Structure 1
Amino acid sequence: MRQAMSKITGLTAKWIWKQQESYNPYQQVVLARKVVRLKKIEQARMRITTDGGYRLLINGEWINDGPCRSWPEHFQFDRLDVTPYMKEGLNEITVIARHWSVGNFHTVPRQAGLLAQLDINLAGGLKRRIATDGSWLIATAPAWLANTPKVSIQMEPQEYYDARLEDNLIFEPAEVLFPAGAGPWQALCERDTALLTRKPLPFRKFLGANLVKRDTSLDFCVPTASLANPGVIEANMSVGNAGGMATLLELEQAAVIKILGAGFSVAVNGISSPEDTFSLPAGRHFVLAFSSTLFGHNKDRAVRLVDPVAGLRLLNPLDNGHENPWCWMRMPDFDFQGDDLAWPFNQDQDGERERLEKRYDDEITRLLGMVKDQADFQHELGQQAVCLGAHEMFTLDPHAAFLAREVVGSAADWVLNPAGLAGAGGSLTVVNPAPEADIELVYDLGEQSVGYYELDLEAEAGVELDLFGVEYIHPQGAIQHTWGNRNGMRYVTREGRNRFISLKRRSQRTLFITLRRQTRPVLIRNLRLIESTYPVNPAGSFDCSDPRLAHIYAISARTLKLCMEDTFTDCPLFEQTLWVGDARNEALYNFSAYGAEDIVRRCIRLAAQSLERYPIIGCQVPSGWDCLLPAWSFLWGISVWDYYQYSGNRDFLREMWPAVLRNLEGAAGLLNERGLFSGPFWNMFDWSGIDDRHNTVLHNSLLLVGAIEAAQKMAVVLSEDASAAWLAEFRTSLTVGINRLWDPKPERTAYPDSIHADGSLSTSTSMHTSFLALLYDV
């Protein structure tokens, strides 16, 4: 792996943050500021990075968002030419820095920290350096609320902005944490791919205005994994979510109550309801809920009381006067903190995880049926129950209201000039409040896009503006919701004019804008997307006599562009993750469509650095999910040769050569007694349902042959004769092992998909295994 970039001379800036007790907050946004007076400027260059995300503004101008994703052992900064934004006289540098100590598939968070250095050439040959240190002023930005659930398992916490709090800034001198070369961010090096573009993208079409039922439901979204594992930063399925919550539900009169458990199993007075409805008399009732599964990627789970009746009250069973009506039950007997290197769904596992999950299922089933009242609760769970503040126990999830939306009529009479937000804009859209419903505006971007939300409007204080995007609406009107991804945000207005640009890039084709808690007209001057992607330049084209094929090519090129950020990603909405196998295929199409090389090198390099953690290349990088998908590991080796074939870049081939060998050596160490690749990993190749939940899955060995062949070609180019001899021997022995499994019987003439733990051959055969054998001449 290239280390030449890691030694950066002249970087004297210090890592800074707001002085505080812990530098591992769940989520925190700060504003760092420096005002300087300068003489005439000839050139100004900024180097900047943070653990999380930053937005740089100079004299109020938005310069850039970053940094790019990188491993903490090879941490990267952005280098920016900011000359056009500087001026003679006073200059204000502002950085909005965001940190989250939350596991995800994009970063490996270490702690909060900001590093920036501006080097300036002044007229007359003078130089000036402005670097982060204790002279910078820094303040927590409370308008970005901290207690929100994660967007998804792959991403950071959701963005929720309350403009009423944006002036509540208390600046103080920054706390110096580390020199530039110290701290948990090692081998600082410059970003090795292009900065993303920003292009304003107005809505293409107004689809309609709806009256939607006001959401009066009570949502209690719980970060179960964080409560069960405080301080642990991870994104693994094999981390426990054990825990429960209880409340006293008080009714003035008999009622039918609906309680939904999204990741929770719920009982009232010891009775569960498959329909989630409970017919209850007046009086007090005991509500008990447990995190319904011990493991999984759903780490933010919820209980939702739908349309509570008048007079309903919730009381904390430990302290009826507590501000939080729920108490939390810790279940330390089920604590488990593991990774997913041993794939949880592999049928050849020894079952420790599964046995614990079965014990948990049995225990919560017992408790849900046994605990009928407060006396039962004290007897069974009193020692485990604790009172937590609502802010500690719950997160705020506006996406739940969007998922539960119910259209009750047309809002056409309440909205003036809704088409003003479509096209070039410039005209005002006025949304008047409806007396008994919220108002929803729906706009079509014309095609899938990805970028930042920008708004400019006038409103009273406290209007909740929900912005949520979807990819598809069925012809009959049903929304294809982004289940598992809270694809949007909430903005709460301040009195008067509101201007805002979101910190997160989001993707959608259709945007739903819902105005809640509105009592006066809202005047919208502008609301649009600022599209942001890798700066592609079409290098190839396609045309033929069938216009449908040309259209398919255009759609494919557009899709690829949306999946190009600082790396290739699997999709622009759900994950935005660098999946190594996906990136290999995206790179091939990119060669003909766009000819971009730096992004290909970057993806290959980031994957190579995962070998410092795993025996073979990781499957999604950099990431807090510890998981191996060997098919992707071997496709990575093939991608190194793909890139050389396209570019002829021998220097990069030489740089990657040690990682290519190390990946194959790691694979060689995982051969079984049959001479086949075998390991308890995520041994899939495609979402096709073949028999792949075993340690020994044949397509892995076949893809390993492909990776060896690619390495043999590299060895010739690099004159690595000794390695070439080992590679030839490795390929021969592996091929022999594979061909021992060939079944020549006329009714079969195929390889089995896998070998089971008892040594039996799978009865399943597939095209996947067969075509790989042909592709790599096995």
Structure 2
Amino acid sequence: MKNIDWQASWIWGEGEASPRNEWRCFRKTFEVPPANESGGGALLSITADSRYVLYVNGTRVGRGPVRSWPSELAYDQHEIGHLLKPGQPNTIAVLVMHFGISTFYYLRGRGGLIAQVQDGAGHVLAATDASWRNSVHLGHHPRSPRASCQHAFAEYVDARLWDAAWVSESFDDTAWEASLAMGAAGMEPWTTLKLRDIPLLTEERIVPVRVESLAKVKSFQATAAVDVRNALVKGSENHANRNAFLGFALTSLYADRACKATIGFVQSHECLRSLSVNGRRLEEQFYGSKPERYVDVELLAGDNLLAIDVSGHIHTGKLQIGVYADEPANVSFRAPAWPGRLTTAEEGLLSDWLSIGPFDTVELLDHQGWRELNEEHPVYVALRDKAITLDDLVAYRQWIEPIAAAHVSEADIFALSVWRKENVKYAVPAELQNAVIPHREPAEVPFFEGYDTEVLFDLGKEYSGYLQFEIEAEAGTVLDWYGFEYMSGQYRQDMFGLDHTLRYVAVDGRQRYESPIRRGLRYLTLTVRGAAKPVKIHSVTMLQSNYPVAEVGSFTSSDALLNDIWEISRHTTKVCMEDTFVDCPAFEQVFWVGDSRNEALVSNYLFGVQDIVKRCLKLVPGSKFQTPLFADQVPSGWSSVIPNWTFFWAIACAEYYEQTGDRDFAREMYEHIQFTLAHYLTHIDDKGLFNIKGWNLLDWSPIDQPNDGVVTHQNMFLVHTLKTGAAMGRLAGDEAGAAELERAADSLQEAINRHLWSEEARAYIDCIHADGRRSTVISMQTQVVASLTGIAPSDRKAVIDTYLIAPPPNFVQIGSPFMSFFYYEALAKLGETGLMLQDIRRNYGQMIRHGATTCWEQYPNFLENRANPDMLSRSHCHAWSAAPAYFLGREVLGVRSLAPGWRKVEIAPIPGDLTWAKGSVPHPAGGRIDVAWTLDTATQTMTLNVTYPAHTEVEIRLPDGVQGVVNEVKLAVL
């Protein structure tokens, strides 16, 4: 790959600069000179806003770009010489998916594509300009719902409306329009184009291991998803921050006869403060366990006014509603009759929904605060305390606005997939298993008159990538696909708050579709709706896509449970390596800065790759335009700060230097570390403590970590970060700056020990609240951080270290595998590897016993899950939890770096209660370190075999009290 001299222009089509959820297709046919004139080979450079899929002569070549800040947009390069036909016309086709909204991994820009093809001699063969043809993808449904606040949109494609052959050379694009040339490379908002700094991601074909179940089902008859956030809060599409507002959403439920009906709400904890139907308040009649809420109603023949108080603090801000009426009644949504009804032509741009408000934005309030809005928001309060009727539409007409059709999805596939009025299961026919067996005859989906058919596939473990399927169906048959992470027996953990569904409306005959949207899932349901005859499935495939790694690291031992735990840690880390480390492949796919520090350490012991680590670390300072404290997830439209996450980033920069010995990187990052720490130090209060209003998070547990005040663990990590910054300063040659950071660290450490220690409890308290109140909570988390960061003087450290070895039951206990990572670090410093192994077996062993193939975000039934004993964790694949893959290699195999770049390595196994272990650890300079040991516990004799690259100085130590034989092999280095 090489940087290029851009001669191409940015192009787009006519219409909005940043349209909501628009897929736009581009084509260019060009001549390629004969092979002897082209210099051999061809390189295509390309990027787009927001994402692209590239085809050359009908062959899909790649996807991109990697996430980046708009002002430093990354571009990709694809070698396409083998696909070109010298002396003939050749066609480039590009699908550009423009989000039109900000997400947790994308900041809204505007629609655009830039691409350039050069031959081996450097001649430009094709470049985006006004001659490229373009068209909106007419088969894509732009009104598909928001997937979540983290993601963009769910997927809805009608294959009848768009020719899948548009990517081929033979397609006739003369009816398409010419493109609009907007400007040269370097135009706003993409002022700098930067060559991609990591390899292209993998695509590995994964097929399901079996058809898990078959059922005939009935679900809602009418559904809708309303983007309350973007509809009511103007400008909210430009960011992903929380909004707080007051308002209502209204529609009419039309019934063709009087009937009983069920109304269901399946959104996640938003947009449902109260409900009235025909002037009757119904929220006290809700049933179902949150977030699902249902109510049974009597509908009149004709229109029934439905009013929903959607006020609240929202991120996604999506109202998801479904209605089921007893047969033979039919129900649907339609616009209420109100005094401001517009003309028919205008109504074509509108939905069946109205809004009342928003009346005002409000500060974040607790439950009681919502009841005390009377004086400041009298209009809202007057409506809140009554059931809204048609008469109110006249009285409050000045507050009523029709909701644009763009903000209402007339079908909510998630709601249809998770709620079934009837769900009759059948034994899976042997022939249906052909759906998962390659090269067998197609599987026929059973047809049930008057019902939909649900087929559930199991991929065997969680994957992250792109769904493909090949089917045979009649035109108009609806295939609804829905993925989720976990099920056990009859319990299915539906993923409320995430809509990664795909509705595909079939064209007639045999057809193949590949989704351009990344999904993470283990289980996949296909619900066939509206079929006149059985659908045939030829294949269902997931293209697993991740950062390319070699499986260098390995671990096995005398404990089969630890081996299984290491394996789920490995797989979790791999599927959470995209163009950055991400927290999870399903719910978020977000580069959380603090998570990635631990993920990088795990990856070092599994794969040894460094480009992705470096890329993650260098992305963080780009958030300084949002906050000088640096954002906790980047690049993101949510300008949010978790101070600990910034501290972990700075620590990770130092750890990258230790891993690679890259002094230039250390110098570059020191400037950014110094910059942000200077801003953090402005929050030191008159007691000398770090005191801030923010998201003061460390663990999912009931520790006392308020979002305003002095949080002890945060103060301690700041001390550690200041010392880390000082060390980086010395690497950069800034002795004065380093000394200043050390003085700040010493001062803060002294204040912590003066104000945050409880002599009565003989422990560090969790916090001092903003009102000066000292916390009465004592937690393991705070004591772990005190030990790990070296905050405590020796007498106190001796006390708190006893808590780490035997956690007092009255202390708040560790609540997530993320926090366990720091606990294990502290135990390793104390030489308590045996305790670490016990903790890993106990906590991760619960995951294995529940069939986990990946590491969970939380420990089973902890805190957030207590309302539902079947819900063992929110996310079932979360890389901040993959600690065992790091610690088993570092402590049990005993492989530890002693010098930057691993120039010097210690191999000192700690057996714990194991009798043998073997495995490999990647060396960052190339090669790997192989360790295999066997311990005779009766004689305390060890045989230790070690192989390592000759470029590494190695110190080998047997465990204390153990004698034995050491066999070394040095491998020559090229």
1:457-477 deviation digits (Å, cap 9, x = unpaired): 2211111111111111112x1
What secondary structure does 2:71 align onto? helix
Map 1:248-397 onto structure 2 (within 5 A). 248-249=252-253, 254-261=258-265, 262=267, 263-264=271-272, 265-273=274-282, 274-276=284-286, 277=295, 280=298, 282=300, 286-307=304-325, 310=329, 314=334, 316-318=336-338, 326-335=352-361, 344=364, 366-367=382-383, 370-371=386-387, 373-379=389-395, 381-388=396-403, 390-394=405-409, 396-397=411-412
Q: Choose the corresponding residue for 1:188, options 169, 190, 193.
A: 193
Q: Is 2:254 the partner of 1:238?
A: no
Q: Is 2:225 the partner of 1:221?
A: yes
Q: Is 2:11 the partner of 1:16?
A: yes
Q: CA deviation at 1:279?
A: 5.0
Asked which structure has the greater CA Rg, the reply is: 2
Q: Choose the corresponding residue for 1:68, options 59, 66, 69.
A: 66
1:239-285 deviation digits (Å, cap 9, x = unpaired): 24543233445656543332234433320233222334455474566
Aligned residues: 754
Q: In 1, distance between residues paired with 2:78 and 2:745?
A: 47
Q: In 2, distance between residues paired with 1:629 and 1:51?
A: 28
Equivalent residue, structure 1, for 2:945 = none
Q: Is 2:114 the partner of 1:100?
A: no
1:271-301 deviation digits (Å, cap 9, x = unpaired): 2223344554745665232343322223111
Q: In 1, distance between residues paired with 2:301 and 2:437?
A: 57
Q: CA deviation at 1:376?
A: 3.5
What secondary structure does 1:212 align onto? strand
Equivalent residue, structure 1, for 2:419 = 404
8 Å contact from structure 1 (residues 346, 695) kept in 2: no
Distance 1:776 1:60, change over 3 A: same
Distance 1:643 1:287, change over 3 A: same
Distance 1:361 1:511, change over 3 A: farther
8 Å contact from structure 2 (residues 442, 537) kept in 1: yes
Q: In 1, distance between residues paired with 2:660 and 2:488?
A: 43
8 Å contact from structure 2 (residues 335, 354) kept in 1: no
8 Å contact from structure 1 (residues 270, 369) kept in 2: no
- Indicate the percent of aligned positions where both proteins have the same amino acid: 30
1:70-119 deviation digits (Å, cap 9, x = unpaired): 01122111122222222212211000001011121011111111111111
Equivalent residue, structure 2, for 1:341 = none
2:337 partner letter: P
Equivalent residue, structure 2, for 1:36 = 30
Map 1:653-664 onto structure 2 (within 5 A). 653-664=666-677
1:31 partner letter: C
Moved more, 458-467 or 598-607: 458-467
1:397-432 deviation digits (Å, cap 9, x = unpaired): 21110011355334569x782111223344211224
Q: CA deviation at 1:36?
A: 1.0
Equivalent residue, structure 2, for 1:128 = 124
Distance 1:554 1:416, change over 3 A: closer
Distance 1:396 1:534, change over 3 A: same
8 Å contact from structure 1 (residues 691, 762) kept in 2: yes
Q: CA deviation at 1:365?
A: 6.4
What secondary structure does 1:64 align onto? strand
What secondary structure does 1:102 align onto? coil
8 Å contact from structure 2 (residues 485, 523) kept in 1: yes
Q: Is 2:172 the partner of 1:150?
A: no
Q: In 2, distance between residues paired with 1:110 and 1:259?
A: 38
Equivalent residue, structure 1, for 2:933 = none
Q: CA deviation at 1:733?
A: 1.2
Equivalent residue, structure 1, for 2:784 = 771
Q: Is 2:206 the partner of 1:201?
A: yes
Q: CA deviation at 1:371?
A: 4.5
Q: In 2, distance between residues paired with 1:71 and 1:44?
A: 28
Distance 1:242 1:112, change over 3 A: farther
What secondary structure does 2:149 align onto? coil
Q: In 1, distance between residues paired with 2:460 and 2:374?
A: 48
Q: Choose the corresponding residue for 1:706, options 691, 697, 720.
A: 720
Q: CA deviation at 1:663?
A: 1.7
Moved more, 232-241 or 492-501: 232-241
Q: In 2, distance between residues paired with 1:711 and 1:247?
A: 57
8 Å contact from structure 2 (residues 259, 326) kept in 1: no
**TM-score w.r.t. length of structure 1:** 0.91
Map 1:534-613 onto structure 2 (within 5 A). 534-613=547-626
8 Å contact from structure 1 (residues 8, 188) kept in 2: no
What secondary structure does 1:736 align onto? helix
1:409 partner letter: V
1:173-220 deviation digits (Å, cap 9, x = unpaired): 11011211112012211111121101111111121221112x342112
Q: CA deviation at 1:750?
A: 1.9
8 Å contact from structure 2 (residues 205, 544) kept in 1: yes
Q: In 2, distance between residues paired with 1:758 and 1:542?
A: 51
Q: In 2, distance between residues paired with 1:253 and 1:36?
A: 61
Equivalent residue, structure 2, for 1:640 = 653
Q: In 2, distance between residues paired with 1:581 and 1:566?
A: 17
What secondary structure does 1:75 align onto? strand
User: Quick one: higher RCO (CA 8 Å, sep 6+), 1 or 2?
Assistant: 1
1:756 partner letter: H
Q: CA deviation at 1:574?
A: 0.6
Distance 1:105 1:468, change over 3 A: same
Q: In 1, distance between residues paired with 2:761 and 2:670?
A: 40
Q: Choose the corresponding residue for 1:179, options 163, 176, 184.
A: 184
What secondary structure does 2:243 align onto? coil
Equivalent residue, structure 1, for 2:434 = 420
8 Å contact from structure 2 (residues 221, 331) kept in 1: no
Q: CA deviation at 1:576?
A: 0.5
1:668-711 deviation digits (Å, cap 9, x = unpaired): 12212222222211011111121111232121111111111212
What secondary structure does 2:764 align onto? coil
Q: CA deviation at 1:12?
A: 1.7
2:232 partner letter: A
Distance 1:164 1:253, change over 3 A: closer
Q: CA deviation at 1:389?
A: 5.5
1:275 partner letter: Q
Q: Choose the corresponding residue for 2:767, options 741, 747, 754.
A: 754
Q: In 2, distance between residues paired with 1:357 and 1:484?
A: 28
Distance 1:658 1:577, change over 3 A: same
What secondary structure does 2:486 align onto? coil
Q: In 2, distance between residues paired with 1:458 and 1:252?
A: 35
Q: In 2, distance between residues paired with 1:397 and 1:748?
A: 54
